[in-house]
């Protein structure tokens, strides 16, 4: 059966995230295609039928598709899978920091290529804001050869990392000698359109492509130099067109992002202004609510008082104020009456004193002689000389004039107080009239303190003035008598 093509069923037990090959026509004589089909990481075997022995119950034997039997399980071949990545780069790092932060791939469902546990998280800067080695590498290569986030770490110094845990990957990086070569790939982009299985030679194979040249290098040698040059030219043209399209798409995307940013900024400004207005309105509403709450409490209290006044439980403040003003008005009216009577009495006494003074002046002018009054008996002696008597009389006259000036000052003060009392009387009359008209609330002004005048004080002043006038009358009579006698002696 060495040169015959027979169909074989290959069952593959792959690890998570790997692809599965269902049916392949391979050559039974050569196991190289079987090994190639088992390139997925895991184990594979030729499907044998497992049967129980009839002669020896409990034992099982295996029947191959060709009909051969054997007691032992079929041979299993374990090989390492080779990947044909769309984007795979190799970077050599020297001593020092790598400038790459790795993270563990989350083990969830539908994660492609979960056998690689380490992926690029970010490209941090060195202390001081300087770029790291990975960022410097990105500056020196084309965009399609740059290192980006979420790219998987596949090899460290040529050692494949498929199936290694994240901690094992970190340990290998720590123990690796410098310079170290790292291979990373874009797992999200997947493998190339022409995988290793597609590149295998079959009866319907087509012309080899760039991805299949690594599997079948002998096929490219059959092409002529012109074909190779033409193929390279087409590849370069495709690369040029793709680059231009990528740049144009990048420019359009940049414009779109900028336009979106401007829209979002305008919306943000509008929302910020609206939010500020709403916050100010909320603060004003809170203040108005607080003021309304205080007014409500005050008005509720006023309603309670009004209800009590209506039911007669308490006296209205207006009525109480009216009663107090009426009592004060009566007191002021009585005081005004007493002041008016005292004023009239003072005026009468003043008129009488003035008439008496006029009479005394007339007596002094006509030189009437009268006896020395009793008030000068102890002061003036007949044995004194005329000059001494005149000096004593002058002193007495000066004292009497001083008392007269004091009495005049008191009289002026009484006139001022009378004017003030008249003013108070007029003010109280206006208050009484306003209270009678209903202006109770507006007439609550109190009279000034300096305008309060008592009847007892007025009566005491009247008595003092009467006594003073009597003494003054006696002194004037004595002076006139002494002057008349002195004039007679000179004659």
Could you give the percent of the chain with pLDDT greater than 90?
A: 21
Nearest to 231 by CA among 212, 245, 257, 254: 212
pLDDT in tens, 138-162: 988 888 889 999 999 999 999 999 8
Whether pTM exceeds 0.75: no
Determine the Cα–Cα distance for residues 44 and 75; give it in Å rounded to an integer.
Answer: 9
Torsion sign (Cα): 251, 256, 257, 261? positive
Determine the Cα–Cα distance for residues 183 and 158; give it in Å rounded to an integer.
Answer: 8
Determine the Cα–Cα distance for residues 236 and 248; give it in Å rounded to an integer.
Answer: 18
Cis peptide bond prior to 179, omega within 30° of 0: yes
Q: What pLDDT is attached to residue 372?
A: 54
Nearest to 182 by CA among 92, 101, 84: 92
pLDDT at 86 over 80: yes
Q: What pLDDT is attached to residue 90?
A: 93
Average pLDDT, the chain: 73
Q: What pLDDT is attached to residue 486?
A: 56
Determine the Cα–Cα distance for residues 162 and 185; give it in Å rounded to an integer.
Answer: 13
pLDDT in tens, 378-416: 566 666 677 777 777 778 788 888 888 888 888 888 888
Superfamily of domain 88-198: PDZ domain (2.30.42.10)
CA distances from 450 to 204, 417, 427, 447 (A): 132, 9, 14, 9
Determine the Cα–Cα distance for residues 473 and 353; give it in Å rounded to an integer.
Answer: 9
Q: What pLDDT is attached to residue 482?
A: 64
pLDDT in tens, 12-21: 333 333 333 3
């Amino acid at each position: 059966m060495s040169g015959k093509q027979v169909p074989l069923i290959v069952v593959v037990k792959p690890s998570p995230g790997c692809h599965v090959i269902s049916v392949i026509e391979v050559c039974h004589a050569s196991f190289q295609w079987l090994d190639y089909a088992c390139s997925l990481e895991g184990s594979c075997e030729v499907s044998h039928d497992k049967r129980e022995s009839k002669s020896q119950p409990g034992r099982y034997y295996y029947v191959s598709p060709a009909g051969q039997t054997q007691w032992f399980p079929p041979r299993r071949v374990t090989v390492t899978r080779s990947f044909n990545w769309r984007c795979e780069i190799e970077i050599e790092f020297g001593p020092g920091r790598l400038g790459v932060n790795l993270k563990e791939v989350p083990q969830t469902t539908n994660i492609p290529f979960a056998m690689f546990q380490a992926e690029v998280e970010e490209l941090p800067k060195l202390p001081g804001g300087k770029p790291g080695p990975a960022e410097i590498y990105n500056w020196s290569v084309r965009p399609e050869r740059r290192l980006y986030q979420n790219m998987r770490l596949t090899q460290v110094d040529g050692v494949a990392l498929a199936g290694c845990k994240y901690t094992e990957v970190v340990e290998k990086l720590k123990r690796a000698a410098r310079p170290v070569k790292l291979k990373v790939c874009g797992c999200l982009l997947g493998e190339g359109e022409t995988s290793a299985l597609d590149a295998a030679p079959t009866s319907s194979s087509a012309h080899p492509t760039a991805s299949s040249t690594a599997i079948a290098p002998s096929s490219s040698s059959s092409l002529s130099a012109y074909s190779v040059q033409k193929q390279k030219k087409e590849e370069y043209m495709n690369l040029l067109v793709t680059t231009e399209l990528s740049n144009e798409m990048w420019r359009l995307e940049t414009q779109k992002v900028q336009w979106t940013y401007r829209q979002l900024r305008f919306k943000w400004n509008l929302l910020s202004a609206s939010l500020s207005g709403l916050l100010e309105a909320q603060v004003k509403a809170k203040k108005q609510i607080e003021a309304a709450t205080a007014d409500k409490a005050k008005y509720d209290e006023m309603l309670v008082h009004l209800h009590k006044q209506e039911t007669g439980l308490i006296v209205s403040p207006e009525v109480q104020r009216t009663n107090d003003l009426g009592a004060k008005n009566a007191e002021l009216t009585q005081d005004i009456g007493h002041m008016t009577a005292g004023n009239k009495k003072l005026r009468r006494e003043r008129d009488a004193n003035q008439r008496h003074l006029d009479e005394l002046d007339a007596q002094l002018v006509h030189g009437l002689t009268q006896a020395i009054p009793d008030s000068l008996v102890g002061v003036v002696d007949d044995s004194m000389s005329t000059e001494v008597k005149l000096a004593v009389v002058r002193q007495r006259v000066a004292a009497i004039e001083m008392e007269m000036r004091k009495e005049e000052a008191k009289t002026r003060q009484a006139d001022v107080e009378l004017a003030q009392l008249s003013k108070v009387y007029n003010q109280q009359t206006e208050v009484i009239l306003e209270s009678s008209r209903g202006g109770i609330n507006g007439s609550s002004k109190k009279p000034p303190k300096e305008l309060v005048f008592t009847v007892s004080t007025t009566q005491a002043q009247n008595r003092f003035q009467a006594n003073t006038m009597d003494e003054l009358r006696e002194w004037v009579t004595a002076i006139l008598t002494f002057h008349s006698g002195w004039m007679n002696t000179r004659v």
